A and B are shown apart, each in its own frame.
Chain A
Amino acid sequence: MLRGSIVVWVLLLLGLALGQDTRVVNILDPSTAYNREVTRLLIWVSVFAALIFIVVTGALTYTVIKFRRRGNEQGEPPQFHGNDRLEIIWTVIPTVIIVIIFGLTAQSMIANARFPAGAMTVKVTGYQFWWDYEYEGLGIRTSNELILPVNKPVIVEMTSKDIIHSWWPASLVGKQDAIPGITTRLHFTPEKEGTYYGQCAELCGASHSRMRFRVIVVSQEQFDRFVEGAKGFQAPAATDPTLAKGQQLFNQQCAACHAVKGTANEANRVGPDLSYFGNRTTVGAGLWENTDTYLIPWIKNSPGVKPGSKMPPFPQLSDEDARAIAAYIKSLKIEGLDFEGLPQF
C-alpha cells in the first residue's frame, strides 16, 4: 500500500511537472561552492541515514511479519529482559556516526568562516516588506533587485530597520537573519548568470510571503555598465507632456518617501529607492512583472494588493494620473542593461 502510493505520487509529480516552463528553485543548485559543499555533507549524512533507515525498517518489517500473533501460539513468548552487549553496540555505533558527521560539519563550517579577501560588500537592510541594498564603496543604492557580477565573491552584511527578517536567495546560498541593531554577514560567489529568486524567511507580518527579491547575476561587462550608469545617474528631464505630468505627480505624492538619484529627495529612506526603476524586472518587492497591469493598481492602492503594505492608498489619483506616474518612473533607466533573457533560478 505504501509503496504503491509512493509510485503513484512520483508519477503524478513527473506528469504534472513536464512541459511547464518554470523556475527551478533548488537549494542544492551546483552553481555555487556553498551549495556544492552542502550537497557533499548531505551525501555523507544520507549514506549513514540510509544505513540506519534500512536496518531499522528492516527489523521493524521482520518483527511485524515474523512475530505477529497468529492465534495458535501456546503460552507466553520468551520473557527476556534485555541484552547489555546489544545495548552497548547500538549506543556506540550511532555515537561513532555522530562524531564522524560532526567532524565533517565542523571542517566545513571552519572553512566557510573564512571570508574571501577582495570581495565586494553589499549592505542589505530589511524593511516591512521590502529590501534595501547599498554597494559599499561605490555609492550606489538600489532596492529589491540586487545586481551582482558573475564569478566575483560578495559579502552580504545584513541588518533591519524594524523587526527581524531573513534574506534567502535559495538557489545561491543559505539564509541569514536581518536583525535590528545587529549586523550579520554571509558570503558567496555566484558562478552562473541568471535571475535568482529570493524571499524573506522569518515571519515578519501580514506580507511576510510578499517580501520577495531577486539577485540578478550578470557578466562583469554588464555589471560595470550598471555601476557606471548608476554612479552618474541623473533623473532625465521629462521629454513629453505625459512624463512631465508624471514627474509633477511623483514629486507631489511619492517623493516624500521614495528617493530618486539626482533629485532633491535622493536621501529618502522611507520607501524603496526608485532610481533606475525602469531597469527593474519586478514590482512590489519581487511580486509581479514590472508592467502597467500590476504597476497601476499598485500605485493606486498598495495595501489593497499587498496586505499590510506601508505605502498608503492614493484614492485621489485617477487611472490617467497613475499611468503618468508609471510612465515617469519607468523612464528612469540606465541604458544598455538587459535582464530579459536571463535564465530563472
Chain B
Amino acid sequence: MAVQAPTPSKPSGLPRAVALIWDMLTTSDHKKVGLIYLVTSFLMFGLAGLMAVAIRYQLAVPDNNFLVGDGYNQMLTLHGATMLFFFIIPAGVAGFGNFILPLMLGERDVALPRINAFAAWLFLFSGVLIYTSLFFGGAPDVGWTFYWPFSASREGHGVDFFMMGILTLGVSSLLGSANFAATVYNLRAKGMSLWKMPIFVWSVFATSLLQLFALAGLTAASLLVFIDRKLGFSPFNAAVGGDPVLFQQFFWFYSHPAVYIMLLPYLGIAAEVASTFARKPVFGYRFMVFAQLGIAVVGFLVWAHHMFTVGESLLFQLVFVFFTALVAVPTGVKIFSLLGTLWGGHLDMKTPLLFVLGFLFNFLLGGITGVMLAVAPFDYSVHDSYFVVAHFHNVLMAGSGFLAFAGLYYWWPKITGRTYSEFWGKTHFWFFLVGYLLTFMPQYVLGFLGMPRRYDTYPDGNYLWNELNFISTVGAVLLALGGIAWLIKVIDSFRRNEKAPDNPWGGYTLEWATSSPPPSYNFAFNWPSFFPSERPLYDWAKAGLKPAPVDVKDIHLPAPTVWPFMTALGLLITSIGISISPNATPDLPGVAGWQGWLTVGLVTFLYSLFRWAGRLEYDVPVEHHTVTNKSNAWVGMAWFIVSEIALFGVLIAGYLYLRLSGAAQPPEERPAIWLALVNTFLLVASSFTVHYAHHDLRKRKFSPLRFGLLISIILGTVFFLFQVYEFAVFLGHENPAQQLWATMFLIIVGLHGAHVVIGGTGLALAYYQAIQNKLDDHNHGTLEGASMYWHLVDAVWLFIVCIFYIW
C-alpha cells in the first residue's frame, strides 16, 4: 500500500470484521491511532462512571453494607485511576490530538507514525494490565495516589499490576509526547509559523512538554514502590533514615502538573469550539498561548499544596501557597478570553457550544474553590474531605470532562463521517449539567460538615450527612441517565447513517478542508502558503485562494506492519510476568507460572522489536520535508531525552536531599573507584565509536559502520558485565534494606544499568538493520535515535561517577 488509491478495497477473502481488525493492528495512520485512544478512553469513562454509580449507591444511606472495606477501596482506586489515566489524560491530548492535530497542521501524519501506533497499543495494554489484576487475586486498593507505605504493605499482587501499569503507561505517554513535540516542531504546512497554529495545536504542544518534564515524578514514585515490593529496599523507609514524605514529593511533582495535562488540551478544544460557533476569531490569541505556557510553568511550582498537612516547614508551605494561588491568574486569562471570543458573536447554540458554556460556569466554581484551597489554614480543615472531592470533580469532570464531550460532538461528523441528533446531544448535556450540580454541590457542604473522602460508609446522626449524601446519589443517577442519552445519540447516529458534510459548522481550521471522514492520506492538496492568522480557511476565502489539487497517486504513506502491536503485546505479557513474580515486601510467593509469562513475553517483545526494525517504514524511498531540516527521529529523540534527564534529575535530587541531610551516609567499604574509572573509559570510548559509525553512514561506508556499531555494542556489554560484578561484590557486604546510601546507589546506578541495556538494544537494532542492508539515506532513524540515546547514557554515567564514586 505504498501508493494510496482513493478507495482502498480489501481484495482478500477475509470476513469484513477480521479485515477491519487486521487493519487496526497493522495501521500507523494517525487517525486510526487516534481512534484507538478515543474509543478506549470513552469506554473507560463509561466503565469508571459505572463504578462511580456503585460508590454513590453504597453511600446513599448511612451504615450501608453494599460495598465496604477492601472491595470499596478497590472500586475507588479503579475509578480514580481509570478516569485520570485512561480517560481524562488520553482522551484530549492523545485521542483528539492524534486524530486532529496533523489535520490542523495540514500534514499527512505525525512525525513518527510507527512509534505512535506502538504507544497507542502500549496505552491500551497498560489499562488491560491494571484490570488483569482482577484475575490474580484482586485489584489495587490503595487509592490512585498509592501512598507509601500503604502501597508497600498490601498483600496480593494488585499494587504490583498497578505499578507496572503506570510504568508502561508512562513509556507510552512519553513516546506520544515526544512524537507530538516533534510533529509540531517539524511538520507544519508551508507558511504556518508557530504563531499561526490553531490554539488546539498549541495546547497539545504545551501538554506534551508538561508530560516530558513532569512524568519523571510519577515514574520515580511508582518505580520505587515497585522496587520496595519486589526487592525489599526503599529510600522512604524511616527505619533506616529514609523519608516517607519524599514519596509524596515525587508523586505530586508529577501529579499536580498532571492536573494541567488534564486541562490544557481541553482549553484548546474550548477555544476552537467557541471561535467556530461564535463565528469569530479567538479573542487574544497570543495572550491565550502565553496563558497556556504560563499555566504549564507555574503548574510546576504548586505540587506541595497536596501536602499541606504533612508538617512541612512554614517557609516551604508559604511558597506553595503563593504559587498555587497565582496559577489562578493565567487560568483566569483563559476564561476571560473565552468569554471575549463569545462576546459579540452569533452564538449557534449547538451541543458542542452548550458543553463549553457549561464548562465556563462549572470551571469558574472549580477555580474559585481552588483558590480557597490554596489558603493553607482552610486547607488543613478541608484537606481530604468532600470539599476536595467536589473541587476536583468540578475542574476535572465538569471542567475537562465537559470539554471532552464538547470535542467529541464538535469533531463527531469529521471523525465518523456521520451527523448526529442535536436532540439527544442536548438531552445528554442537560442531564450532565443538572446531574453534575446535584451530585457535587452537596459535597462541598459535606466538606464543611467534616465528611472525609474515601469513606466506604458513614454513621447515622451527623447533621445533614444523610440528606446530602442521598441527594448526591440522586445526582449520580442523573449523570448515568445522561450517559445513556449519549449512548442513544451514538447508536442513532450510526443507524441513521446520514453523511456529514466536509465542514458542517463552518470551521476555520484545516481539518474542515477535507472530507468527513478524511481519507487515509488526509488531503490531496498543496496548500497556499498564506497564513495571516490561525484561521486559514477564513483567510483564504477572503483572499480568494484555493488549495491546489495533487494527484493521489503521488502520495506515499507508511507501509502497514503488525510489529509495533506485537512489540507492545510482548511488553504486556512481560509485565504480567513481572507483576506476579515473588514479592519481598510483604513476603509473597509468586503466582505459579510467572517465569513462563516472563519468558514468553520477553521472547515476543524482542522478536517483534527486531522484526519491526527490519521492516522499512516506506516501501518506496520518500523524501521528507521538515520545518527544522532535522530528521523526525532526531527531534523526537531530543524531546524524549528531556524526559530521561528529568527522571534521573528527580531521583538524583532525592539522593542529594538524603545525602546532604545526613541520612544517607556511604558505608565503610564502597564500590571500587578503579572499576568505575575503567567503566567510564569503556562507555566514553563506545560513545566515540557510535559517533564514528554514524559518520560512516553519512559517507556511505557501510563496512566500517557495521564494525563501529559492533564495537560499541561489545563495549556496552563489557560495561554492563563489570557493573553486574560490582553489584555482586557490593551486595556481598552491604544490605540495601539496612543502608540508605546503598539503597540509593543500587536504585540510581541500577536504573542507569537498565538504560545501558535499553540503549544497547537500540544499537543492536541499528546493527541488525545494517547487516540486513536496510540502513541508508532514507532509513536511518533507528541509528540516529540510538546513538543520541547512547550519548545520553554516557553523560548520565559521568554524573553518577561524580556523585556516587568520587563524592
Contacts and interface: CB of A to CB of B under 8 A. Distances in A.
Counting chain A CB atoms within 10 Å of each CB, the highest count among B238, B279, B345, B437 belongs to B345
A106 B464 contact: no
Given A22-B462, A91-B333, A12 B467 contact: yes
Given A208-B455, A308-B70, A164 B378 contact: no
B339 A81 contact: no
A182 B283 contact: no
B245 A179 contact: yes
Contacts of B383: 166, 174-175, 201
B126 interface: no
A90 B335 CA distance: 10
B192 to A, nearest CB: 17
A68 B349 contact: yes
Interface stretch (B39-47, B147-155, B717-725): B147-155
A200 B454 CA distance: 10
Given A91-B333, A177-B310, A105 B321 contact: yes
Contacts of A87: 284, 287, 333, 336-337
Given A57-B361, A64-B347, A177-B309, A81 B285 contact: yes
Given A77-B279, A78-B344, A174-B380, A13 B149 contact: no
A80 B280 contact: yes
B340 A83 contact: yes
A69 B348 CA distance: 6
B377 A109 contact: yes
Interface-central residue, A79, A168, A203, by most chain B CB under 10 Å: A203
A20 B380 CA distance: 29
Interface string A13-33: 100110010111111100000
Contacts of A91: 287, 329, 332-333
A13 B468 contact: yes
B134 interface: no
Nearest to B238: A181
B564 to A, nearest CB: 38
A162 B365 CA distance: 38
A77 B280 contact: yes
Contacts of B344: 67, 77-78, 80
Interface of B: 68-70, 73, 142-143, 145, 147, 149-150, 153, 237-239, 242-245, 278-287, 309-311, 314, 317-318, 321-322, 325-326, 328-329, 332-333, 335-337, 339-340, 342-349, 357, 360-361, 364-365, 368, 371-372, 374-385, 434, 437-438, 441-442, 447-459, 461-464, 466-468, 471, 533
Contact of B329 (A82, A95, A208): A95
Nearest to A287: B459
Interface in A244-290: 287
B339 to A, nearest CB: 5
8 contacts: A24-B449, A41-B377, A41-B378, A69-B349, A180-B149, A181-B237, A204-B150, A208-B455
A170 B382 CA distance: 9
A337 interface: no
Contacts of B332: 52, 90-91, 94
Contacts of A73: 346
A5 to B, nearest CB: 7
Interface SS majority for chain A: mixed
Contacts of B385: 27, 170, 201
Contacts of B279: 76-77
Nearest to B369: A49
A308 B332 CA distance: 46
Contact of A206 (B70, B382, B449, B468): B70
A237 interface: no
Contacts of A28: 448
Contacts of A16: 464, 466-467
Contacts of B281: 79-81
B743 to A, nearest CB: 15
B342 A67 contact: yes
A28 B287 CA distance: 39
A52 B364 CA distance: 9
A166 to B, nearest CB: 6
B70 A307 contact: yes
B471 A12 contact: yes
A206 B318 CA distance: 35
A94 B333 CA distance: 9
B309 A176 contact: yes
B450 A25 contact: yes
A184 interface: yes
A173 B381 CA distance: 7
